[in-house]
């Protein structure tokens, strides 16, 4: 395993703007790195930027939209340690004693034990191994239906015609979102990530989604259903240790938005990587026991989330020789950077389905490890295998791909493919 990475092919050249130093902290005399000076490279080539940062230090004080000034941890060991450190709070109100903006209610992503333990327990049974085993034939049936829908086409956009509607159907089926509302919901979830001109994320949540979720919750109260929303609503109405109205809305929003964006990008990116590496694709077609390893390597190399959600210091927090101030200082953990740290993975930029991916952090680690990770893995594996079996001559129909211009989600905007070769 190598310990040092060579300069990436697309790394900063003398003609590329370099980060500017703006400000020094009182505790470390570390200059603020203004990442906005990288321009579009911040979303199109984040890995080369991460590599430059890792070469200098495992943690940096950066200026990064939309977070403003924030501490960014980029080294694998340091990110892993922070994910498991109980002194770093997910609850901004607890850490800072100030209510943070854009809050709709407490979720598993914004709470610490014992509140986090309580919230996670209420939904974890729906993601148990037994429940997921029962879901496999349902996911396969949904997948086959979407493959039937594209079977008569020669060329499609794999995202809009396959991975997006497939992942959206699975999560909305699991949660119990009515069929007629699914396209509208997806549009809202995308606009929350990248708001349309003239609107803010807070406006999108409070004016559109919360109103819809209130109506959906009321609908679940009026009709008996076996879906996850129905179960959560019934529990909230009949038990003491249940979700409050605001917690119920927040949980619904979290499960809906997180439940399909990650999976649709896993499917699309996995297919792209395989089509760009035909030798490994041939090996996979010959031996489907490599499928799980293919999913893990896709997650490691191109994690669907570049960063975890913010954490806040409750005490001074040391990373290497740097002491991050306590008292609610925000910290961002670069999961995607950790997954390409050459001290953890040899030749980390390469796609290799035979690689040992143990230790990758695509879904986080510790008590906040993504609850839906097993579902995403199952869905991704079924979707990719079924597509490759149905269309043995599948090939790329473009030689350039654009990534979403956001720092929240790592995913392609489109993926044109030919189903007939």
Domain boundaries, the chain: 21-418
**pLDDT value, residue 202:** 61
The pLDDT, as a whole number, for residue 349 is 97
Is the per-residue pLDDT at 138 higher than 80? yes
User: Distance (Å, rounded) from C-alpha 252 to C-alpha 240?
Assistant: 19
Q: Residues 55-84: what's their mean pLDDT?
A: 95
Residue-level length of the chain:
421
- pTM equals 0.86
Nearest to 122 by CA among 239, 266, 4, 271: 239
User: For 191-202, what is the mean pLDDT?
Assistant: 64
User: If you average pLDDT over residues 310-338, what whole number do you get?
Assistant: 96
Angle, in degrees to the nearest 10, between helices 278-286 and 245-276: 100
Task: Please report the pLDDT score of residue 201 as a whole number.
Answer: 59
**Over 70: is that where the pLDDT of 22 sits?**
no
Quick one: 312 exposed, middle or buried, by C-beta within 10 A (0-12, 13-18, 19+)? buried
**What pLDDT does 143 receive?**
97
Tokens of 323: 């002491």
SS3 (DSSP) at 365: coil
Q: What is the tens place of the pLDDT at every residue in 210-238?
A: 778 888 888 888 887 778 888 888 877 77
pLDDT at 320: 93
pLDDT of residue 211: 78
Rounded to whole angstroms, how far apart are CA atoms 244 and 105?
9
Q: In what order do the strands lie in the sheet with 395-396?
A: 155-157, 416-418, 395-396
Return the bridge partners of 21, or none.
Answer: 33
The total of other beta-carbon atoms located within 10 Å of residue 132's CB is 17
CA distances to 269, 353, 384 from 374, in Å: 18, 19, 16
Share of the chain above pLDDT 70, in %: 85
Q: Is 404 left (phi over 0), alpha (psi -120 to 50) or beta?
A: beta
E strand or H helix that includes residue 360: none
Quick one: pLDDT at residue 207? Answer: 65
pLDDT tier, 193 (very low <50, low <70, confident <90, very high otherwise): low
Is the separation of the CB atoms in 401 and 415 below 8 Å?
Answer: yes
At 130, the pLDDT band (50, 70, 90 cuts) reads confident
Q: Are 309 and 334 in contact, with CB atoms under 8 Å apart?
A: no
> Poorest-confidence range of 91-95, 101-105, 157-161, 226-230?
101-105
- What pLDDT, on the 0 to 100 scale, is given for residue 231? 82
Helix (H) or strand (E) holding 61: strand 59-64
Can you give the pLDDT at residue 21? 39
Q: Kindly indicate the confidence band of residue 123, based on its pLDDT and cuts at 50, 70 and 90.
A: confident
Higher pLDDT, 317 or 405: 317
pLDDT digits (tens, 9 = 90+) for 260-307: 888 999 999 999 999 999 999 999 999 999 999 999 999 999 989 999
- The band of 128, judged by pLDDT with boundaries at 50, 70 and 90, is confident
* Residue with the larger pLDDT of the pair 194 and 404: 404
3-state secondary structure of 21: strand
pLDDT (0 to 100) of residue 394: 98
The top-level CATH class assigned to 21-418 is mainly alpha
């Amino acid at each position: 395993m190598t310990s040092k990475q060579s300069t990436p092919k697309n790394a900063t050249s003398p003609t590329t703007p370099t980060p500017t130093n703006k400000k020094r902290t009182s505790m470390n005399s570390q200059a603020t790195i203004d990442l906005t000076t990288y321009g579009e490279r911040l979303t199109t080539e984040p890995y080369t930027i991460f590599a430059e940062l890792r070469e200098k230090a495992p943690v940096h004080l950066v200026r990064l939209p939309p977070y403003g000034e924030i501490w960014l941890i980029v080294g694998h060991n340091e990110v892993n340690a922070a994910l498991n450190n109980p002194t770093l709070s997910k609850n901004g109100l607890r850490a800072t004693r100030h209510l943070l903006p854009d809050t709709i209610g407490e979720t598993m992503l914004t709470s610490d034990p014992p509140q986090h333990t309580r919230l996670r327990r209420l939904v974890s049974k729906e993601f148990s191994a037994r429940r997921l085993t029962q879901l496999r034939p349902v996911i396969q049936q949904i997948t086959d239906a979407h493959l039937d829908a594209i079977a008569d086409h020669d060329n499609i956009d794999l995202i809009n015609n396959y991975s997006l509607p497939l992942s959206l159907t699975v999560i909305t089926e699991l949660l119990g979102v009515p069929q007629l509302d699914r396209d509208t919901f997806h549009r809202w979830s995308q606009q929350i990530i990248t708001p349309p001109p003239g609107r803010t994320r807070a406006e999108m949540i409070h004016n559109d989604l919360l109103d819809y979720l209130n109506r959906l919750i009321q609908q679940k109260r009026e009709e008996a259903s076996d879906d996850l929303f129905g179960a959560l609503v019934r529990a909230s109405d009949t038990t003491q240790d249940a979700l409050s109205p605001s917690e119920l809305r927040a949980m619904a929003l979290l499960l809906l938005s997180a439940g399909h964006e990650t999976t649709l990008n896993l499917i699309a990116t996995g297919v792209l990587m395989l089509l760009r590496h035909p030798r490994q694709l041939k090996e996979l077609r010959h031996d489907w026991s490599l499928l799980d390893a293919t999913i893990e390597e896709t997650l490691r190399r191109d994690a669907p989330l570049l960063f975890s959600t913010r954490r806040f210091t409750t005490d001074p927090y040391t990373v290497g020789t740097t002491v991050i101030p306590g008292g609610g200082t925000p910290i961002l953990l670069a999961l995607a950077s950790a997954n390409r740290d050459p001290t953890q993975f040899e030749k980390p930029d390469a796609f290799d389905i035979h690689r040992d991916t143990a230790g990758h952090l695509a879904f986080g680690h510790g008590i906040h490890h993504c609850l839906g990770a097993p579902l995403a893995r199952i869905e991704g594996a079924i979707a990719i295998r079924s597509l490759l079996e149905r269309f043995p001559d599948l090939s790329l129909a473009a030689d350039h791909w654009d990534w979403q211009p956001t720092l929240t989600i790592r995913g392609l905007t489109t993926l044109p493919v030919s189903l007939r070769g």
